[in-house]
């Protein structure tokens, strides 16, 4: 790939939610502050909403890595589970033995017993669900019932939901009013500003080991912000493709032409930088350069 060409130690714009590349941008920093405060005060339900690609999973991983030691976490990355599957998944995360084999009634008792054990040991238990908008309706109700488990002074289980805006639309229904009322803390992630996009790009390059002259000029960063609408995932995709194109053409600085080519080959972005007929030309250019890069890798 382009690592040697630009003097990079690793790929700076991968889509994997690597917390080493985490940057405390205002929306993410504020969301972590809300989560930390809510967890410390023992609230039952906490919710973080963000559009696709705004960094919810990275924020979720950051929370898991930095949560205080007295918390015991149960993490469910794919909650498209029916109530029975959800209970068993939570039980497994909490260390309940043979959770997949016992009856539902016994399982519920064992979960409560386990929560009481952890509480007696001075632990707080938090259930973290990523992509929570995928929860079936009956599983949302099962989730609410989980938070009924409590002592006289504290909830035995706290729940953090990371979700797309579709979850808010579902919770607005009358049948979910009880669950909606229990969400006492929430935060809505926003997209990055143009200045934040510039900081974000330079930060990721620095973490990846780049030490050369400025690769992405301010004007190009502003254009990337406009085309991507400040969505981190789209910024990553565009920057990665621009670096590939620059490498294939032997360039060392990002230009508007490279951005146009990358944008024309990328779904879900504002293609206002391109004329209608330019898209086909750019896609062909990108494909040929990608093929050339692949050939170089095979020969290496």
277 has pLDDT over 60: no
279 has pLDDT over 60: no
**Averaged pLDDT for residues 42-48:** 87
Other residues' Cβ atoms within 10 Å of the Cβ of residue 203? 17
Residue 299: which pLDDT band, with cuts at 50, 70 and 90?
A: low
Domains of the chain, first to last: 26-188 (3.40.50.300), 192-299 (no CATH)
pTM for the complete prediction? 0.85
Residue corresponding to tokens 């979700």:
163
**Structural contact between residues 224 and 239, judged by C-beta atoms closer than 8 angstroms:** yes
Q: What is the pLDDT of residue 282?
A: 44
For 164-183, the pLDDT digits (tens) are: 999 999 999 999 998 888 89
The contacts of residue 201 (CB under 8 Å, 6+ apart) are 216, 221, 224, 235, 239
Other residues' Cβ atoms within 10 Å of the Cβ of residue 145? 13
């Amino acid at each position: 790939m382009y690592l040697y060409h630009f003097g990079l130690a690793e790929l700076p714009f991968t889509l994997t939610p690597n917390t080493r590349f985490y940057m405390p941008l205002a929306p993410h920093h504020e969301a972590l502050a809300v989560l930390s405060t809510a967890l410390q005060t023992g609230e039952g339900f906490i919710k973080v909403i963000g559009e696709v690609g705004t960094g919810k999973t990275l924020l979720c991983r950051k929370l898991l890595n930095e949560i205080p030691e007295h918390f015991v976490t149960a993490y469910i990355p794919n909650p498209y589970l029916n109530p029975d599957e959800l209970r068993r998944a939570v039980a497994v995360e909490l260390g309940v033995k043979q959770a997949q084999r016992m009856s539902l009634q016994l399982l519920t008792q064992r979960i409560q017993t386990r929560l009481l054990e952890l509480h007696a040991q001075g632990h707080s238990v938090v259930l973290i669900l990523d992509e929570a908008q995928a929860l079936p309706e009956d599983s949302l109700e099962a989730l609410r019932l989980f938070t009924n488990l409590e002592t006289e002074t504290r909830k035995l289980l706290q729940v953090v939901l990371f979700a797309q805006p579709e979850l808010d639309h579902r919770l607005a229904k009358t049948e979910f009013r009880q669950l909606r009322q229990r969400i006492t803390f929430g935060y809505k992630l926003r997209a990055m500003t143009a200045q934040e996009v510039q900081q974000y790009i330079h930060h990721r390059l620095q973490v990846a080991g780049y030490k050369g002259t400025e690769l992405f000029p301010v004007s190009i960063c502003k254009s990337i912000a406009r085309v991507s609408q400040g969505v981190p995932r789209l910024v990553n995709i565009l920057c990665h493709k621009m670096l590939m194109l620059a490498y294939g053409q032997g360039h060392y600085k990002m230009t508007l032409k490279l951005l146009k080519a990358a944008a024309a080959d990328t779904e879900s972005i504002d293609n206002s930088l391109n004329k209608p007929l330019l898209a086909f030309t750019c896609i062909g250019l990108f494909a040929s350069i990608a093929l050339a890069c692949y050939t170089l890798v095979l020969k290496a």
